[in-house]
Structure 1
Amino acid sequence: MGLGDGSYGVLVSENSQARLKKEGIRLGNPDHNEARVLFTTQQMVDSRLHNVDVFRVLDEFFYRHEPRAVRIWDESMLPGEALTLNLDRIGKLLEMVRKVDGRLADRLLDLIAAVNGHPNGSTYQIPDFEAEHSKALRWLSRNKNEVDKKSKESASTLRLLSGKPVRITHDAKGKTVLTYRESLPNDFAPVLICDASARVRKTYALWEVHRKNLLTLARAAKSYKNLRIHVWDTGGGKSAWSDKKAKLNDLIDGIVQTIKTKPNEEWLIVLHQEDGWNIPDLALEITSLLPDTVRKPSFITWGDHHATNKYVEIKNVILAGTLFFQPSDYEARYRLCAAKPVNVPIGDDDLDDLKLGEYAHVILQALCRGSVRKCAENCCGPMDAYIIASANTQIPKILPDVFPDCEIVRWQPVAQPLSGHVKLAVEAIDEYFAGSTDLNHRLSFSEHRKMLGVSPQMHKNRIRDHFVFQDEMAKRGIVEWGKGARMTHFLKLVF
């Protein structure tokens, strides 16, 4: 920007200041009030907005004793904070709570029982714990020595939920309560939001349509014709990476074999954090299986998959699974952006649209750590991306919209065994064509469906279009046949 040291300031935490100085990064004018441009972080802004109703009282961000007129937010933004709290997380607070406030512990037990007694989709009024037990809740949410990070987060969320109506839903780990809170003061606007994910997330569209205080500006088109995406159609969520799962070895082996195809090139791998899912040290597991002749890859975890240019020269990026949230998280986010009260239902299709937009957001942010982030003449830098994502998530289906003009190819680094309907479909065809030498021997799709007891749609989408089934047919010399463009039969080629 060509700014002199006196023209800009950097407002970050003391730890961040020390790190930046160690890296040789100048922090500009220490008198931020006299710095024409002030650089800060989302965390610094959010932490201060928690305690005020208006932005104009936060003099740390002032220029010459007045709120700054131009505000640019170079990151994703939501209009507030989505709040969810699982009952199991409340249960884990009980032992610590009882040490400081036995009455609060008893009331939390009552809360768990009451929520469990309500059906999913119902609403419930959380008691105002903050008003009557603020000392204990503050101790839990701020204690750095005796309370673990997740428990502190749970206590902080409980404080924010106090006295509010919530919606009850069911997640993988049991019942959860959800709502949202407004955290952006009205006078925080106007602000220019620069977010690469704005075109793929549904959050901004909901915000614009329902809250009516957001305006989408013209977008600069970017082509991803230099991006080749390799998709491994298999589950890659946290449960798939648990060391109790037999699938773990296949996933690790697939990544190792892929890296070995380009032994002298740089690789970046985005991994899941352990986070209570019994996931082993994946970076160590992968690195230990690579021979010394192969260049060791770099690793980052989901959660640290954005806002860094450190890996922008790397042309091979593997997403070892995708970051998924609980259903309650997506619903709370939808309600926040659409300003939808907890007693108003949301359609399943609307939630699915938001969920796909959030998938697109995390994938775009993660892959853009690599060279695809670059842009020359409206086109991305060359890169090979490798994504582990089951077709059931619909992630492979949305990739052309997330990365216009990209090339998508199948990635199958380890053999996939036959299972389920595909296995039954292949076995039925093998039995039908067994020993056949008839050049016109055909099996109609309708007859094959009857053998399996499946609908035409399932036969097409889950069997005929499944890459494992297609591979098995190719091995057997069996092709789809029909009169004209419409395929109606399987035909076995006899050589």
Structure 2
Amino acid sequence: MYSNLTQRAFQLLKDRFKEIGHTPSLEQLAALHDIPHTLTLMAEGKLEQKMYLSSLHPGIGKSTAVTTSVQSYIQCREMYREQGVIMCFDRHEEIVRMVKDMNLPRHLFAVKVANHSSNRELNEMGLGSTRINEALVLLTTKQQITRLGQLGQKFSDMSRLYFRDKPRTIRIIDESMTMGVGLKLAVRKLAKVPDELSDTSPGVARVIEEITQELLSCANGDVYYMRDLEEGAKRVLTACKWGSVEARDVANVFLQILGRELTVKATERGHVAIDCDDTLPEDFLPCLVTDASGEVRGTYDLQQKYRKNLVRLKSAAKDYSNLTVHVWRQRSGKSAYQANGNKVYVTEIVKVINSRPNEQFLVLRFLSNPELEADIIEKVTRPERVKFTHYGLHTATNEYKDIPNMIITGIMSYRSEDYEALARAAAGLKTSDGALPPETSNHLRHGEHAHHLLQAGCRTTPRKSKGAGCPEARLWLIAPKGVLSDKEIARIFPQCTVKRWVTTPNALKGPRQVAFEYITEMIRSGMQQVRGADVGRHLGMTKSNFKRDIIENVDFTDTLQDRSISIEKRSNGQYFFCDTSYLRELVESFTKGNQIPISISL
């Protein structure tokens, strides 16, 4: 039997859905019911000290369920001894949106963000940040908790966040939450620190030089004990007026990792020392986390396995059968744009946008490539219908929900050391606690790619709900082979249609034209596959140059695809060019309704 508060909140939720014409499936409603029920049990003190995760997809109603639950609690708060509510967000805009959605009387809430002059209007909302102790509901950023948590402070000791001189009982975190933070120290950057200390503190500079050399002598995967420094040396590093933000940040990380074991990774960019810290205090649990990426991100899997303090609430699928995803298999990371230039991508992006001249588009780019916007705007018809955003702003916004078309110009990826640091943070596994299984980082990498695709893809019309599914929408994605396979995309967006993004290759020249003629001639002669090594020898190219200039060239691969020739990489690392024309003929035959005799030998 559910409590009166749960029933009241759930009825308010259904009434709200009726007002806006939202008709989720029975399965989705059952999963949404878990949100008010969890918050009710939290208010009653009946939950274990764990994180309770709701992973419903965008548009199903997680935020509305939270809003109506808090509103219902406020109406009968006397029954629960008026325990305080704290709601944590990533960005200020999300706080403003929630204040508007909840529509609370001014005397019931307060907002607390960093004390910058630019934030004065936010901090003055409701009762104001100087009267937090009187506000039943506090809206704040996650950083207000995690910054102190990393210093080892308990939530119960964060008195400036209290309600009526006590820690708040009902705790809600919007979007993603990892209980720790990865710590990474690039040794090449640490090596620059002594230059800024040699005149004022030569002794400290010499110690850091010694540590740098010791780290550089480590092999990949070695465990290194970072010695602690005397208090005087620490004060020098804390008080130093650094010549750059990078030097200051390196010094801060260096201070954090003193006196502990570190994992050293030898990467293409040099040696990196890795560890992690907890940031969300254990006594902040129980709390509710609403993260649409909860089912695809590996961070929660690691938390569940190692910390054993995660409870997954009911889940329910969303039907994306009205979504078509067009995929262009092409290198599209930051380095690829730097190497290839924007032109090769802009040409195809503009073709797509101009093919639907009366519809709006949202284009997602990397933060480091603002020039891409101007390059696209210059060539599209009616540029006012094209909106842009970048990674970092691709989550938790409804601003673009009425736009039916989206182009994702690349999937955000991180370096291998970043994935290991994040994995340790999620698992709460410091170097001194042991090594991570080798497959962990790869699992996490796949999960983060899926997270970015789901969050980005649901900024536009797929975010909305139409019954149990979404309205008609189209998504164009540029991603290399090995990142987000068609099968993975279909798992992220259940029931969606995944198609090849048909691009027009530029005319081949030089070695690429020679390679193409050699491969097609071999296939015409009757060969079903051509060894990449033979093509490389024919061109007189080294293995690395052959991979970079031939295998990974978008015009070359697209030209081969148009001729029904695929590139396959075998388990031994060898490349083969394979004739797949028989597959096209097979599909065409089925499409025309022809029967193909199939013989089976027993």
| TM-score class, shorter | 0.7 to 0.9
> Aligned to 1:295, what secondary structure does the other structure show?
helix
CA shift, 1:39, in A, is 0.9
How large is the Cα RMSD of the aligned pairs?
3.3
Structure 2 letter corresponding to 1:229: V
Pick one of 479, 500, 507 that aligns with 1:410.
500
Asked whether the 8 Å contact 1:250–1:414 carries over to 2, the reply is no
Asked whether the 8 Å contact 1:231–1:387 carries over to 2, the reply is yes
Q: Are positions 1:3 and 2:104 aligned together? A: yes
Equivalent in the alignment of 1:493? none
Aligned counterparts of 1:375 and 1:290: Cα–Cα separation in 2:
30
Pick one of 415, 437, 440 that aligns with 1:326.
415
Q: Are positions 1:108 and 2:204 aligned together? A: no
Pick one of 462, 466, 471 that aligns with 2:562.
471
Pick one of 211, 219, 239 that aligns with 2:335.
239
Structure 1 letter corresponding to 2:383: V
Aligned counterparts of 2:463 and 2:334: Cα–Cα separation in 1:
26
Q: Structure 1: 5+ residue runs without aligned partners?
A: 435-442, 455-461, 488-495
Structure 2 letter corresponding to 1:254: E
Structure 2 letter corresponding to 1:283: E
CA shift, 1:346, in A, is 3.3
Distance 1:478 1:322, change over 3 A: closer
CA shift, 1:34, in A, is 1.7
Equivalent in the alignment of 1:310? 399
> Aligned to 1:348, what secondary structure does the other structure show?
coil
Equivalent in the alignment of 1:490? none
Deviations 1:199-220 (A, max 9, x none): 0011111111211111111123
CA shift, 1:477, in A, is 11
> Aligned to 1:208, what secondary structure does the other structure show?
helix
Distance 1:63 1:416, change over 3 A: farther
Aligned counterparts of 1:19 and 1:418: Cα–Cα separation in 2:
58
CA shift, 1:121, in A, is 0.8
Asked whether the 8 Å contact 1:316–1:383 carries over to 2, the reply is yes
Aligned counterparts of 1:130 and 1:299: Cα–Cα separation in 2:
50
Asked whether the 8 Å contact 1:264–1:294 carries over to 2, the reply is no
Equivalent in the alignment of 1:76? 176
Equivalent in the alignment of 1:174? 270
Asked whether the 8 Å contact 2:132–2:163 carries over to 1, the reply is yes
Equivalent in the alignment of 2:425? 336
Equivalent in the alignment of 1:438? none
Asked whether the 8 Å contact 1:263–1:295 carries over to 2, the reply is no
Aligned counterparts of 2:358 and 2:519: Cα–Cα separation in 1:
46
Deviations 1:325-376 (A, max 9, x none): 1101111222222333426443433321111001111222222222222223
Aligned counterparts of 2:188 and 2:348: Cα–Cα separation in 1:
35
Query: Which stretches of structure 1, 4 residues or more, deviate above 6 A after TM superposition?
Result: 416-423, 450-454
> Aligned to 1:17, what secondary structure does the other structure show?
helix
Q: Are positions 1:368 and 2:458 aligned together? A: yes
Q: Are positions 1:28 and 2:140 aligned together? A: no
Please show how residues 444-463 of structure 1 align to structure 2 within 5 Å: 445=528, 448=529
For structure 1, which segment, 211-220 or 88-97, has the greater mean C-alpha deviation from structure 2 after superposition? 88-97
Pick one of 334, 339, 349 that aligns with 1:255.
349
Equivalent in the alignment of 1:53? 153
Equivalent in the alignment of 2:322? 226
Asked whether the 8 Å contact 1:265–1:295 carries over to 2, the reply is no
Aligned counterparts of 1:98 and 1:310: Cα–Cα separation in 2:
51
Distance 1:109 1:38, change over 3 A: same
Pick one of 125, 139, 149 that aligns with 1:39.
139
Distance 1:153 1:256, change over 3 A: farther
Aligned counterparts of 1:155 and 1:318: Cα–Cα separation in 2:
39
Equivalent in the alignment of 1:379? 469
Asked whether the 8 Å contact 2:146–2:281 carries over to 1, the reply is no
Pick one of 444, 450, 454 that aligns with 1:354.
444
Aligned counterparts of 1:486 and 1:347: Cα–Cα separation in 2:
46
Deviations 1:266-307 (A, max 9, x none): 222222233xxxx5632233323445x333532222222223
> Aligned to 1:307, what secondary structure does the other structure show?
coil
> Aligned to 2:456, what secondary structure does the other structure show?
helix
> Aligned to 1:229, what secondary structure does the other structure show?
strand
Aligned counterparts of 2:357 and 2:165: Cα–Cα separation in 1:
57
Structure 1 letter corresponding to 2:112: L
Asked whether the 8 Å contact 2:150–2:278 carries over to 1, the reply is no
Structure 1 letter corresponding to 2:125: L
Equivalent in the alignment of 1:269? 363
CA shift, 1:234, in A, is 0.4
For structure 1, which segment, 58-67 or 262-271, has the greater mean C-alpha deviation from structure 2 after superposition? 262-271
Structure 2 letter corresponding to 1:153: D
Asked whether the 8 Å contact 1:240–1:248 carries over to 2, the reply is no
> Aligned to 1:388, what secondary structure does the other structure show?
strand
Deviations 1:38-58 (A, max 9, x none): 111112222232334311111
> Aligned to 1:379, what secondary structure does the other structure show?
coil
Asked whether the 8 Å contact 1:76–1:194 carries over to 2, the reply is yes
Structure 2 letter corresponding to 1:162: L
> Aligned to 2:191, what secondary structure does the other structure show?
helix
Distance 1:478 1:165, change over 3 A: closer
Aligned counterparts of 1:213 and 1:232: Cα–Cα separation in 2:
40
TM-score scaled by length of structure 1: 0.81
Give me the identity figure in percent: 27
Please show how residues 413-452 of structure 1 align to structure 2 within 5 Å: 413-415=503-505, 427-433=518-524, 443=526, 445=528, 448=529
Asked whether the 8 Å contact 1:268–1:298 carries over to 2, the reply is yes
Asked whether the 8 Å contact 1:59–1:65 carries over to 2, the reply is yes
Count of residue pairs brought into register by the alignment: 452
Asked whether the 8 Å contact 1:258–1:413 carries over to 2, the reply is no
> Aligned to 1:375, what secondary structure does the other structure show?
coil
Pick one of 80, 84, 90 that aligns with 2:190.
90
CA shift, 1:187, in A, is 1.0
Aligned counterparts of 1:432 and 1:402: Cα–Cα separation in 2:
37
Asked whether the 8 Å contact 2:180–2:428 carries over to 1, the reply is no
> Aligned to 1:215, what secondary structure does the other structure show?
strand
Pick one of 288, 292, 312 that aligns with 1:192.
288
CA shift, 1:70, in A, is 0.6
> Aligned to 1:10, what secondary structure does the other structure show?
strand
Asked whether the 8 Å contact 1:179–1:335 carries over to 2, the reply is yes
CA shift, 1:380, in A, is 2.7
Pick one of 352, 368, 389 that aligns with 2:479.
389
Distance 1:95 1:264, change over 3 A: farther
> Aligned to 1:365, what secondary structure does the other structure show?
helix
Equivalent in the alignment of 2:114? 13
Distance 1:477 1:174, change over 3 A: closer
Deviations 1:366-418 (A, max 9, x none): 22222222223232343222211001334544211111111111113341677
> Aligned to 1:355, what secondary structure does the other structure show?
helix
For structure 1, which segment, 301-310 or 166-175, has the greater mean C-alpha deviation from structure 2 after superposition? 301-310
CA shift, 1:250, in A, is 0.3
CA shift, 1:423, in A, is 8.6
Equivalent in the alignment of 2:225? 125
